[in-house]
Structure 1
């Protein structure tokens, strides 16, 4: 299974930093018996690996070579690939940069590198044969993409940063067969790449007869891309997660 990490954004909400926001130290880990700072994106790498990913593609900008250097070694049985997004052009543009790597018969999972969520093995519960969103309850869904689903779990719509969101469940990661990944890519191209946000593309996919499913398995979710989120992540980690070894 492939994991895709879109990491080409500029991180303006938490800048200035002297490094890419995906390397922001959050919590610690032990390496060779020594406690060291842990980059926020390591949490997502760990969660993708728990979900079954053995190959992870970072989509980075030409200026984020520090991410390449940081993850250039094999980590925990995971191999890394790096794809360039020449300019920041939205989430859809970023994830579809990885399309040449994805085989139609191979599952693919996507997460956001400046988030931390629990439980860390939640992706493993998502099936390989359907398009599923891992969702989390939050207090202010208007800041995220809220997922509105039927009682059977079928997603009706995704409300993209809607101030009047009708669901408090937001997506934090998703998984699908490679075939659906390529079908979404084709739809995005057909729509002349107008979708910056994944949610609007998924709504178009559903309107065309496609199916997407809600997996409300999340218990905690923090966006570390703001100073408030950074403080909340430190609180969440202190309450829920001890420092762990990097493989």
Structure 2
């Protein structure tokens, strides 16, 4: 039986790739809602999470990004419950995600990045089904990408088991990258304990920033089952760069 489903959205980034903006990048207007009003980029991820059964979502924000809770409020407009947590360990996405540990431990997690547009609409539903069917600890959503150096590339076996995650390689024969994930309480606990052990390296400056893929790779190396679903007919578009933002604007307007 699956635990309660909760979403985690890391929204603490500076958005520096897009240059100076008058608002948080997660609130960039992109397309329109059914009623004709403007839609912001992170609403697409929220819709995916709601479709996957998430009833509550934790946004991890940094001090100063108060426009995000100001825009989304308590979540009632989305038939969900929203919470906002402050990032206090600026060492990468896993540390931001771990900020929600006390609130989500014991729950099944749906996770995505608020500046990546993903199709199809039932991605999280498919990932959660795979999580149950395979008894995996984590299931990654994989998509074909044109530029491996922008993504965490993923090597799997024929059964879909993730063997290796290669972060942003200069070149690669791998064609599939991950940009969504669901995981069990076991991974939430593993990540929490793993980050506690390695955090001193970041505090003293030995390491600077930890990507999410590195923690997933550590879970693989510790014997956890990491599965995947390949969405070969789907798409993922990171709108965090000007060139890809232009593509998204053309697609949605």
Q: TM over 0.5, yes or no?
A: yes
How far the C-alpha of 1:235 sits from its partner, in A, is 3.2
How far the C-alpha of 1:191 sits from its partner, in A, is 2.9
RMSD, aligned α-carbons:
1.6
Q: Distance in 2 between matches of 1:114 and 1:87?
A: 21
Q: How many residues align?
A: 234
Query: Which deviates more from structure 2 when the two are superposed, residues 114-123 or residues 184-193?
Result: 184-193
How far the C-alpha of 1:185 sits from its partner, in A, is 1.8
**DSSP 3-state at the match of 1:126:** helix
**DSSP 3-state at the match of 2:97:** helix
Answer yes or no: is 1:27 the counterpart of 2:22. Answer: no
How far the C-alpha of 1:87 sits from its partner, in A, is 5.7
Change (3 A) 1:87 1:203: closer
Higher helix share: 2
**DSSP 3-state at the match of 1:19:** coil
Mapping for residues 15-54 of structure 1, pairs under 5 Å: 15-31=19-35, 35-54=36-55
- For the 8 Å contact 1:108–1:177, the answer to whether it is kept is yes
Q: Distance in 1 between matches of 2:105 and 2:165?
A: 27
Partner residue of 2:9?
A: 5
- For the 8 Å contact 1:5–1:56, the answer to whether it is kept is yes
Change (3 A) 1:222 1:64: same
- For the 8 Å contact 2:61–2:85, the answer to whether it is kept is yes
Q: Distance in 2 between matches of 1:49 and 1:230?
A: 24
Partner residue of 1:241?
A: none
Mapping for residues 1-150 of structure 1, pairs under 5 Å: 1-31=5-35, 35-73=36-74, 74-86=76-88, 88-104=90-106, 106-127=107-128, 128-129=131-132, 130=136, 131-150=138-157
Answer yes or no: is 1:170 the counterpart of 2:177. Answer: yes
Q: Distance in 2 between matches of 1:95 and 1:196?
A: 12
Q: Distance in 2 between matches of 1:63 and 1:89?
A: 18
Q: Distance in 1 between matches of 2:157 and 2:68?
A: 39
Mapping for residues 203-214 of structure 1, pairs under 5 Å: 203-214=217-228
How far the C-alpha of 1:157 sits from its partner, in A, is 0.8
Q: Distance in 2 between matches of 1:75 and 1:153?
A: 37
How far the C-alpha of 1:162 sits from its partner, in A, is 0.9
Question: Which consecutive unaligned segments of at least 5 residues does structure 2 have?
Answer: none
TM-score by length of 2: 0.87
Deviations along 1:30-69, one digit per CA (max 9) or x if unpaired, are 44xxx22211000011111111111000000011100001
TM-score by length of 1: 0.89
